[in-house]
């Protein structure tokens, strides 16, 4: 894909987000576009940085560590989000590298992250990941646990919980999952909702997303692993 095609994709996604926001009577400025750059090399990411984009998501700590430190030297105001599952032995690296951690989903990782943030003096905002479809293979707390878990993260661990994140099941309409996440955030008193990917970000915007995570819709199809 050429650099121009990449920035055109970015523009197209932005304008579709703005349209979906206006249709839902929301301010398009409330919705952040997270470009999910997993599996793509730094050369593919650079044109977006050059075009002024700063919000990116990666799902693996090690992969992110191999490409972002160098990009960050050139673009200091990048905001990098961890959107994939986190193992506790990677927590130190994750806290050092990322600016937001969206995949907090169990007691142990909440505790380890809180300790690392204190140690590194980097109190990062976090999201609680909710497994809205209750899929056995997927990360996230169950919807029934979400409100209590978010509260424990704040009160027991002192984490700055900003919002909730979900990845709906692939074979179901996403809207009920987005609506559920919105309702859980309301119950938990949280303002941010990370939901919506390439296939469904407009639906997510109509249901209250404050950030959407778009990968293939910007970068094209991911290379095989």
Ligand X SMILES: *Cc1c(COP(=O)(O)O)cnc(C)c1O
Residues that bind ligand X (CB under 6 A): 36, 38, 59, 83-84, 167, 197-199, 213-217
Residue of minimal CB distance from ligand X? 215
- Contact at 8 Å (CB) between 201 and 212? yes
| CB nearer to ligand X: pick between 25 and 225 | 225
Paired tokens of 94: 């994750």
Nearer Cβ to ligand X (140/156)? 140
Residue 64 CB, nearest distance to ligand X (Å)?
Answer: 12
Rounded to a whole number of angstroms, the minimum distance from the CB of residue 75 to ligand X is: 21
Q: How far is the CB of 186 from ligand X (least distance, A)?
A: 22
Q: Which is nearer to ligand X, 99 or 151 (CB)?
A: 99
Residue number with CB closer to ligand X (88 or 198): 198
- Strand pairing of 160-166 and 125-130? parallel
Q: Give the contacts of 5 (CB within 8 A, at least 6 positions apart).
A: 220
Smallest gap from Cβ 121 to ligand X, in A, equals 28
Is residue 30 within 8 Å of 21, Cβ to Cβ? yes
Q: What is the DSSP string of 95-132?
A: HHH-SEEEEE-SHHHHHHHHHHHHHHT---EEEEEE-T
In whole angstroms, give the CA distance from residue 160 to residue 199. Answer: 30
Contact (Cβ atoms closer than 8 angstroms) between residue 99 and residue 124: yes
For ligand X, the closer of residues 1 and 115 by Cβ is 1
Nearest to 114 by CA among 67, 153, 63: 153
What is the nearest approach in angstroms of ligand X to the Cβ of residue 73?
Answer: 25
Residue nearer to ligand X on the CB measure, 48 or 83:
83
* Rounded least distance, CB 18 to ligand X, Å: 18
């Amino acid at each position: 894909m050429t650099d121009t095609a990449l920035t055109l994709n970015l523009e197209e996604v932005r304008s579709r987000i703005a349209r979906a926001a206006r249709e839902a009577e929301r301010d398009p400025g409330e919705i952040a576009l997270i470009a999910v750059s997993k599996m793509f090399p730094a050369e593919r990411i650079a044109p977006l940085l050059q075009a002024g984009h700063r919000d990116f998501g990666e799902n693996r700590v090690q992969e992110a560590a191999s490409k972002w430190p160098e990009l960050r030297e050139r673009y200091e105001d990048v905001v990098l989000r961890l959107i994939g599952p986190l193992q506790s032995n990677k927590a130190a690296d994750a806290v050092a590298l990322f600016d937001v951690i969206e995949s907090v989903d169990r007691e142990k990782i909440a505790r380890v992250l809180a300790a690392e943030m204190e140690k590194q003096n980097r109190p990062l905002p976090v999201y609680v990941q909710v497994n809205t479809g209750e899929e056995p293979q997927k990360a996230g707390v169950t919807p029934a646990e979400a409100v209590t878990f978010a509260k424990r993260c704040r009160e027991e661990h002192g984490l700055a919980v900003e919002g909730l994140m979900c990845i709906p099941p692939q074979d179901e309409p996403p809207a009920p999952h987005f609506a559920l996440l919105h309702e859980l955030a309301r119950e938990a008193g949280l303002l941010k909702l990370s939901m919506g990917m390439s296939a469904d970000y407009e639906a997510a915007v109509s249901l209250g997303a404050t950030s959407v995570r778009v990968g293939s819709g910007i970068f094209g199809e991911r290379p095989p692993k």
